[in-house]
Amino acid sequence: MKKKEGFTLIELLVVISIIALLVSILMPALARARELARQTYCLSNQSQMSKAWLMYADDNDGRMVSANTYANGWADMPRNPPGTSTDPGTGGMDLFADLVEKQNAVKRGKLFQYLNNIEVYNCPSDRRTFRAGKTSWRSYSILDGLNASYNTTPVYKIDAITMPSDKIIFTEELDGRGFNWGSWAIGSPHNKSLYSWVDVPASYHKIGSTSAWGDGHAEMIKWKDPRTIKIHAEVERGAFGAGSIPNSYSSTPTNNEDILYLKQHWPRTK
């Protein structure tokens, strides 16, 4: 009887090595493909929200929904359960609420009747979503000054904005506390002598953030200054505590291209 031939140990090891090599080559490509899919999904989210923002204004004589995330804003703040005493000093608002309540806060907002798919309010690359103790859902914020003001002159109606198609309305925000509080701000966006961060610029997509613009389109903002991406990394690892940016990051020099870009495309009056 002829003896059956099989693989030798060396041959098996060679095959395994080849498979391992192929996997190592393919994995980065697959990771890039997954992230590209997330970016596409996120851009779709942003475009839908910008269109909902426009529809709200159309139904309200051109007046924009407030950027603030309070009872009269585009989104609401998470609330403490009735009868609890967990208020962290925010007037009954609970930044540390569970995922269901943070989704409910979105549903209580003024834009939800125009865009009632809760999934659209979350970026699939936002890793805060299921993080213990800092659960988050809403990945996006409206820029400061759009019918709400932290440190700039507010704009109340769309027709008062200079070139809406060239102005950012929504951006991705990273707040280490687990909820994007209020509108998204930088230091006096219309003051040419001040260059500083206030809220944390998100880099969920590694190279930058998605954004929605005043004509309903969405696009990527690719951060160019390594310090901008570093801020995101520092918040992700908890280096900034509650998520605020320390002065060493806020007092950025005037050569930060990312802040210059935002100033150029910040909504302002005619």
pLDDT band at 240 (very low <50, low <70, confident <90, very high): low
In this structure, what is the dihedral angle of CA atoms 124, 229, 44, 198, given to the nearest 10 degrees? Answer: 100
Q: pLDDT of 145-197, one tens digit each?
A: 999 887 788 899 999 999 999 999 999 998 877 788 888 988 878 776 677 88
Phi then psi for 142, rounded to 5 degrees? -90, 145
Half-sphere exposure of 31 (CA within 13 A, CB side): 8
Q: Nearest to residue 240, comparing CAs of 185, 205, 208, 199? A: 199
Look at residue 176 in the predicted model and tell me its pLDDT.
77
Is 144 inside a domain boundary?
A: yes
User: Is residue 220 pLDDT above 90, yes or no?
Assistant: yes
Full-model pTM: 0.82
* C-alpha–C-alpha distance, residues 195 and 172, integer Å: 19
Is 18 inside a domain boundary?
A: no
Alpha-carbon separation of residue 189 from 62, 65, 228, 245 (angstroms): 23, 20, 16, 17
Q: pLDDT of 83-120, one tens digit each?
A: 554 544 455 677 778 889 899 999 999 999 999 999 99
Is 6 inside a domain boundary?
A: no
Tell how far CA 130 is from the center of its chain: 15
Burial per residue of 243-270, b for 16 or more beta-carbon CB atoms within 10 angstroms, e otherwise: bbbeeebeebeeebebbebbbebbbbee
* C-alpha–C-alpha distance, residues 173 and 186, integer Å: 12
Is 10 inside a domain boundary?
A: no
Is 53 inside a domain boundary?
A: yes
Is 226 inside a domain boundary?
A: yes
Q: Which domain holds residue 243?
A: 35-264
Give the highest mean pLDDT range of 120-129, 175-184, 235-244: 120-129
Number of Cβ atoms within 10 Å of the Cβ of 134: 17
Half-sphere exposure of 144 (CA within 13 A, CB side): 21
Is 164 inside a domain boundary?
A: yes
Is 189 inside a domain boundary?
A: yes
Number of structural domains, the chain?
1
Residue whose token pair is 């596409």: 40
